[in-house]
Amino acid sequence: MFDAPNNITSRLSPIRIGSVTLDMPVILAPMAGVTDAPFRQLVQKFGAGLVMSEMIASHAMIRENRKTLQRTRQANESGITAVQLAGTEPEVMAEAARLNVDRGAPIIDINFGCPMKKIVNNFAGSALMRDEKLAASILKAVVNAVKVPVTLKMRLGWDRENMNAPRLAKIAEDCGIKMVTIHGRTRCQFYKGQADWSLIRLIKNAVKIPVIANGDIRDNSDATLALAASGADGVMIGRGTYGRPWFLRQVMDYLRTGIAAPSPSLAEQRAIVADHLDAMLSYYGTYTGLRIARKHIGWYSKGLPKAAEFRAAVNTCDDAEKVRGMIDEFFEQIIQQAIKCHPRESGDPAASDSERMSLCQDSYGPQTRAAGFPPSRE
Ligand SMILES: Cc1cc2nc3c(=O)[nH]c(=O)nc-3n(C[C@H](O)[C@H](O)[C@H](O)COP(=O)(O)O)c2cc1C
């Protein structure tokens, strides 16, 4: 049951983002190179309040660059997919927003959080937190350009001395922004240290629009603690979904019921990885699809026995059929090992592969346990 001080379930109510209602505000973070259409679809299949596209460069969008169009919301996506825009010129961002809405985006999100030098040096991403006037012009231009709700994602501020997120959130609300997500770090922290969920409360206190807490939510109790510390209306999760597209569903279930749902069995995970690979191959074609699949396959296998050998083999193979075979074989040997350790007995009919796998982790040595995989029931 909950370790958190309050009963979070009763506080995590549906939120309204303008005309869009999120029944369960547990959101997939935008991640360049990760939250592409195949991954978003997979996360949506398990369940998510909202998913976000990778950040789209507004300039490239209005040039209708092929790669950029591939990153936007796709016509066949189910569920609610927000498209995130990065840029620095109000009119260009407004035009990029219009184009995405024409392509079916139900929500536009604006990126004031990206810390990368190549973005910041162009005065985009978190650099915009240092120029509140330009920030306000961008927000107004985009809000006025489209009929769908516009949201904003940012950090606490540029650095510890300049944590202006509460003021900027208020400016954003006054410009017509309908939800703000805060990554609980400053730009100068990049991804170092810990996200500070309690500082997000300052933003929550500054505005009436929904505030979403983001940063370092890796298990159910992180989600409850982030909500309790920040007072936020929902959570956004990024890296916690690596190799676990089902994680948002688990968090939603936990926040609803207080009971931790098990991860899919190893046999189910094998099917999930194979389906994800197929989706990437058909979306990108074999050459690019295989290369993009490598990092996901690496994440799926993390902490499992013989994962390093498996990854080395997958990362050097250019034959999709062979990679499918490797995935099958890799999971099969673990499933067989788990069965050997804990055969399914009549007294233990419900034990899943994952549970049996975790019961016999000792036979796989410290690597498996150190990686904390498979996630055990909490
Ligand atoms: C690989 C990667 C790519 C990211 N790309 C974006 C992006 O395109 N837009 C954005 O607003 N944030 C981006 N982020 C930041 C995440 O959305 C999120 O704020 C951050 O990772 C903290 O959340 P987490 O600890 O749950 O991952 C990215 C993060 C990572 C790790």
Residue 234, SS3 per DSSP: strand
Question: Which residue minimizes the CA distance to atom 2 of ligand 1?
Answer: 31
Atom number of ligand 1 nearest to Cα 153: 11
Ligand 1 mean position, distance from CA 200 (Å): 17
| For residues 356-363, average pLDDT | 43
> Is 114 part of the annotated catalytic residue set?
yes
User: For ligand 1, what atom is nearest to the CA of residue 54?
Assistant: 8
Alpha-carbon distance of 264 to 277, in angstroms, equals 17
Distance, CA 169 to ligand 1 centroid (Å)?
19
pLDDT for 65: 84
- Ligand 1 geometric centre to CA of 83 (Å): 14
pLDDT tens-digit readout, 311-331: 999 999 999 999 999 999 999
- Confidence (pLDDT) at 48: 97
What pLDDT does residue 377 have?
24
Parse the chain into domains and list their residue ranges. 8-257, 266-370
Predicted confidence (pLDDT) at residue 169 exceeds the cutoff of 90: yes
pLDDT at 64: 82
Nearest to 279 by CA among 270, 290, 269, 268: 290
Query: Tokens 């250019």 — which residue?
Result: 318
CATH ID of 8-257, from 3.20.20.10, 3.90.1150.10, 3.40.50.1010, 3.20.20.70: 3.20.20.70
The answer to whether the CB of 234 falls within 8 A of the CB of 26 is yes
Predicted local distance difference test score (pLDDT) of residue 353: 53
| pLDDT (tens digit per residue) in 80-126 | 999 999 999 999 999 999 999 999 999 999 999 999 998 988 888 99
| Residues with C-beta less than 6 Å from any ligand 1 atom | 29-34, 54-55, 84, 111, 113-114, 153, 183, 214-217, 237-240
Pairing of strands 15-17, 20-22: antiparallel
pLDDT digits (tens, 9 = 90+) for 4-14: 545 555 458 99
Locate 45 and state its tokens: 């299949």
Identify the pLDDT of residue 66.
Answer: 84
Q: Which pLDDT tens digit goes with each residue over 332-352?
A: 999 999 888 876 543 444 445
Amino acid at 179: M
**Rounded distance, CA 94 to CA 147, Å?**
12
Cα–Cα distances in Å, from 118 out to 114, 122, 214, 255? 10, 7, 23, 38
Backbone angles phi, psi at 16, to 5 degrees: -110, 125
Average pLDDT over residues 213-220: 98
Q: pTM score, two decimals?
A: 0.91
How high is the pLDDT of residue 263? 96
DSSP states of 18-79 as a string?
TTEEESS-EEEPP-TTTS-HHHHHHHHHH--SEEEEEEEEHHHHHTT-HHHHHHS--TT--S
